[in-house]
Structure 1
Amino acid sequence: MTSSTTKPALRIGVMMENVQLADVMGMDILGNLSVAHYEVGAAFDPSYTKWANDPVHMTFYYIGATLEPTGASPDIKYLPNTTYDDCPRDLDIILIGGPPPTHRPPQADRFMKEAWPKTRVWLTTCIGSMWLASTGLLNGKKCTTNRGLIDVAKKMYPEVEWLDQKWVVTKKEYDGTGGKGELWTSGGAAVGSEMIAKYCLENFNPAFVQQVALHSLALDEYPLDQFYKS
């Protein structure tokens, strides 16, 4: 069973070098909305056919400084399929996890600066926003980061307006077509997944997202509220 979708394909970059693996697990929410995931489900569950026009072709770019096995926490190695030097700059979405502040490879800095005006949607989880802030691209913008490190972020990057929220959405510079530039920054890993779920609900058929992506990950029971309760 194949999808009849004619939606444009999405190219998604994932910056996960030296990050906690949970920071980038929200990519599974996006991946569950792909044609590849749909075709697996439709092969054994006839009810999937009602979503035939909703899945999107997706290509994921797992980026590293080299193509050699690259570390993520805890003691995991992944195999990048592109490098910062070679990865396209004009992607549709870039997801950034949070490495420690000592991890600032110059290739990544150059990639972020060159891709910033060409990729429309940027998502950061945990202290991934601090990685992005190290480029100066977030100066003057409302953002958030891991709640326990907001004071540290304010000291390190005082020109960013750091907010104590689960996630913050703001406009960003974008030179391409297909909509306005969007920056979504979140707190720790769990609220990062909530943020990505919210992004998907706003940009795909919400019923499709709820059933195929969120229900299977038990995220449909989360409040998906961008403000902390206390």
Structure 2
Amino acid sequence: MKKKHPKLIRFGIPLFEYQALDVIGPLDVIAGTSIALLKQYDALGAIPKGLSEHGLELEFYHISEVANKTVPKNLELENLDVVATTTTAECPQIDYLLLGGPMPGFKLSEEMNAFIRDRVAKNEIKTIFTTCTGASVLAQTGLLDGKRATVNNGMIEMARQMYPAVNWVDKSEKVNWVIDGSIWTANGACTGMDMFAHWLIQQCGEKLAKFQFEALGYHPRGADGKLLDL
């Protein structure tokens, strides 16, 4: 019987002034399950036999507006320059979107807004993920209207005023991330990692996910904030 080849999974990450951990943290949670990386571990005898067969074939696309492709975007909080790997015009078909969290007053460009709405309208996006204030960015596209969502706890009241069509979770509910259909929202960078851990377990199973968590020295929590029993 032929081995089943892993399906290519493409993540698109719009590039703007988000907090670095909002994006890097969640991506690192899943990046260690890359089939290419696991095969290297396998060749070194560093992982149990057969574990690499459960890996994911991952590609990450950091997307800028057309005019900004070669212009570094400075993530001001960390003073980190990031350069896009593609543009709204050149980006290939993607399966997932991840929106990190910028300052509350951030306004999404019309070009990026149109790009996100267009890709969703084409039904190519399986899931949109947001972390921290990233939900307020997605709200600007109208795609969160009528959806249950969370955002950074310090911004909930502001978000209600700015985007009243969204069903924002109240702080009293004490829920760190929310799933409403194809939209997953987390209220912070670290809770975003927990949310991606949940996704990873669904995608490749608990055995490989647990290996990846241990490699990071990381123990994910559920939406209720309690450590998962892994």
Normalising to structure 2: TM-score of the pair? 0.86
Counterpart code for 1:82? T
In the TM superposition, what whole-angstrom CA distance separates every residue of 1:122-141 from its partner, at most 9, and x where no partner exists? 11100111000011111000
The alignment of Structure 1 onto Structure 2 pairs a total of residues equal to 212
2:180 alignment partner in structure 1: 170
The CA RMSD over aligned residues, in Å, is: 1.7
4+ aligned runs moved over 3 Å, structure 1: none
What CA distance in whole angstroms lies between the structure 1 residues aligned with 2:101 and 2:15? 8
The one of 73, 77, 81 aligned to 2:81: 77
Partner of 1:226, secondary structure, is coil
Residues of 1 paired with 2:30 and 2:115: CA distance?
22
Distance 1:48 1:94 in 2: 32
Q: Match of 1:188, as an amino acid?
A: G
SS at 2:194 equivalent: helix
Deviations 1:99-148 (A, max 9, x none): 22334211111111111232111111001110000111110000001111
Q: How does 1:13-162 map to 2 (within 5 A)?
A: 13-24=12-23, 25-65=25-65, 66-68=68-70, 69-72=72-75, 73-88=77-92, 90-100=93-103, 101-117=105-121, 118-162=124-168
Counterpart residue type for residue 47 of structure 1: I
List per-residue Cα deviations over 1:186-206 (Å, max 9, x = no partner): 001111111111111122221
What one-letter code is carried by the residue in structure 2 that aligns with 1:167?
Answer: W
Per-residue deviation, 1:52: 2.6
CA distance in 2, matches of 1:7, 1:115: 23
Q: How far did 1:166 drift?
A: 0.5
Does the residue aligned with 1:58 lie in a helix, a strand or coil? Answer: strand
User: In the alignment, what sits opposite 1:175?
Assistant: none
On the 8 A contact 2:10/2:96 being kept in 1, the answer is: yes
Structure 1 residue matching 2:50: 3-state secondary structure:
helix
Q: Which residue of 1 aligns with 2:185?
A: 185
What residue is the counterpart of 1:198 in the other structure? 198
Structure 2 unaligned runs (5+)?
none
**Distance across 1 between alignment mates of 2:46 and 2:100:** 36
Shift of 1:48: 4.2
Residue type of the alignment partner of 2:215: S
In structure 2, relative to structure 1, the CA distance for the partners of 1:74 and 1:5 (3 Å cut) is farther
Contact 2:15–2:73 (8 Å) recurs in 1? no
Return 5+ residue gaps in structure 1 as ranges: 172-181
Question: 2:95 & 2:142 partners in 1: Cα distance?
Answer: 21
Give the AA of the match of 1:130: S
